[in-house]
Copies of this chain bind each other. A is one copy, B any other.
Amino acid sequence: MNMAKINVAIIGASGYSGEELIRLLMRHRGVCLKVITSRQYDGQGVEEVFPRFASSGLKFSAPDVERIAAECDVAFLALPHGLASEYALPLLDKGVKVIDISADFRLRSTAKYKQYYKEEHPSPEVLKRAVYGLPELYREQLKTADLIACAGCYPTSSILPTAPILAAGLAETNDIIVSSMSGVSGAGRKVALPYIFPECNESLKAYSPTGHRHLPEIEQEMAVAAGIEELAINFVPHLVPVNRGINSTVLLKAAAGCTLENIAATYEKAYGNEPFVRVLEHGKTSDTKYVTMTNVCEISYTLDAHTGRIILTSTIDNLTKGASGQAIQNMNIRFGLEETEGLL
């Protein structure tokens, strides 16, 4: 790779998504990681928070848009929702590409944003410039996007197995159920009673069985795939005691004429050349342990004759394909790099 390196900033680098970005970008041959920000750890070496990166020589600094604009081509926002918006416009105005891992620019509808996030959308005018950061569905648009709203973790794991099936008309659009399990890093590096070890270990529980914030995002993209205006699904997430990984089980009502062969062919067409989607042969089921620490989404499928339902399962690493790995994949696409660079 002889071209000049891309200069990169990570804003909000002390959480788990930030850690994963650092891990992946340190071995990426096309970038130079110039700035990592954290208000809390301003001035401290990265090794104070992440000893495994001791050899990098990186230091946290407080976020400084001027400096980032002066030094960087692209900024990853690994911030809580609401906060990301504050950085997006100033950076875009100064010509920095923005790849946002938060939820701020994923929903096209500001009404839905308000309904699910309980506040007005912080910058609706910027929202229009965002491209949804799910490369398998939006690769072309991503090539020229200035603001990329990376798909959420549950959405990535739900949409990837489902979208081609809906697009091919193999399933009904009014009877979709997603039941997901997530490891605890999905909650971020959050210090709260429900997340301490003795509360999570040996615990299995559903949460937000209605109205989870990722629900409208999943519905939005499933509707796009199905070519309809709107659809409504059930999405029930569960918290389970692993560090990393999401397993989603999707149940769909098969449309007339749907067969295992149709499904297999549909996936082959959709994902046969995708570097980060692995569709298992019929009869195998996906397992998070085969995708953790990778950018792969593993998909399995079957058809239940006795109820007429298609059953899909998918597994991803919530921090990689579900967040930081996908963000880098998006960056690679945007900057014309090999899409898999830094991710194999």
> A262: CB under 8 A from chain B?
no
- The answer for the CA separation of A234 and B284 in the assembled complex, in Å, is 18
Interface residues of A in 185-201 (CB under 8 A from B): 185, 189-193, 195-201
- Residue in contact with A16 in the complex, picked from B198, B200, B240, CB distance below 8 Å: B198
B247 contacts A289, C-beta separation under 8 Å: no
- B199 touching A289, Cβ below 8 Å: yes
Task: Kindly identify which residue among B201, B240, B309 contacts A181, using a CB–CB cutoff of 8 Å.
Answer: B240
A291→B245 CA distance, assembly (Å): 20
Q: Which of A147-201 contact B (CB under 8 A)?
A: 175, 177, 179, 181, 183-185, 189-193, 195-201
List, in ascending order, chain B residues with CB within 8 A of A195's CB: 196-197
The answer to whether residues A51 and B287 also contact, given A177-B177, A234-B304, A307-B234 and a CB cut-off of 8 A, is yes
Count A interface residues, CB 8 Å: 77
Q: Please determine whether B298 and A51 come into contact, CB atoms closer than 8 angstroms.
A: yes
Residues of B within 8 A of A199 (CB): 197, 289
B294 touches A203 (CB 8 A): no
Interface 9-residue window, one of A125-133, A137-145, A206-214: A206-214
Q: Are A242 and B287 in contact (CB under 8 A)?
A: no
Query: Does A233 count as interface, using CB distance less than 8 angstroms?
Result: yes
Chain B residues within 8 Å of A202, by CB:
202, 242-245, 288-289, 292
Partner of A242, one of B55, B203, B292, B300: B203
Q: CB distance B51 to A290 under 8 Å?
A: yes
Listed residue (A54, A193, A234) with the most chain B CB atoms within 10 angstroms of its CB: A234
Decide yes or no whether A102 CB sits under 8 A from chain B.
Answer: no
Q: Mark contacts of A246-277 with chain B using CB atoms, 8 A cut-off: 1 yes-contact digit, 0 otherwise.
A: 11010100000000000000000000000100
The answer to whether A285 touches B206, judged by C-beta atoms less than 8 angstroms apart, is yes
Chain A, 307-339, CB within 8 A of any chain B CB? 307, 309, 311, 313, 315
Q: Could you tell me which residues of chain A, from 5 to 32, have a CB within 8 Å of some CB in chain B?
A: 16, 26-27
Encode contact with B along A35-78: 1 for CB under 8 Å, 0 otherwise.
00000000000000011101100000000000000000000000
A265 to B305, CA, bound (A): 36
Determine the chain B residues whose CB is within 8 A of the CB of A175 once the complex forms.
175
Contact of A285 among B177, B205, B307 (CB under 8 A): B205
* A85 within 8 A of partner (CB): no
A89 at the interface (CB under 8 A from B): no
B204 engages A242 (CB within 8 Å): yes
* In the complex with contacts A236-B311, A287-B51, A311-B234, A191-B189 CB distance below 8 A: no
Complex contacts, A302 vs chain B, CB 8 Å: 209-210
A306 interface neighbour in B232, B245, B249, Cβ under 8 Å: B232
Of A202, A233, A247, the most chain B CB neighbours within 10 A belong to A202
Which residue from B26, B246, B313 sits with its C-beta under 8 Å from A206?
B313
Which 3 pairs between the two chains have the least Cβ-Cβ distance? A179-B179, A205-B287, A204-B247
Give 11 pairs: A residue, B residue, CB < 8 Å, sorted on A. A55-B278, A179-B236, A181-B181, A184-B197, A204-B246, A205-B313, A209-B249, A209-B285, A234-B309, A236-B249, A236-B251
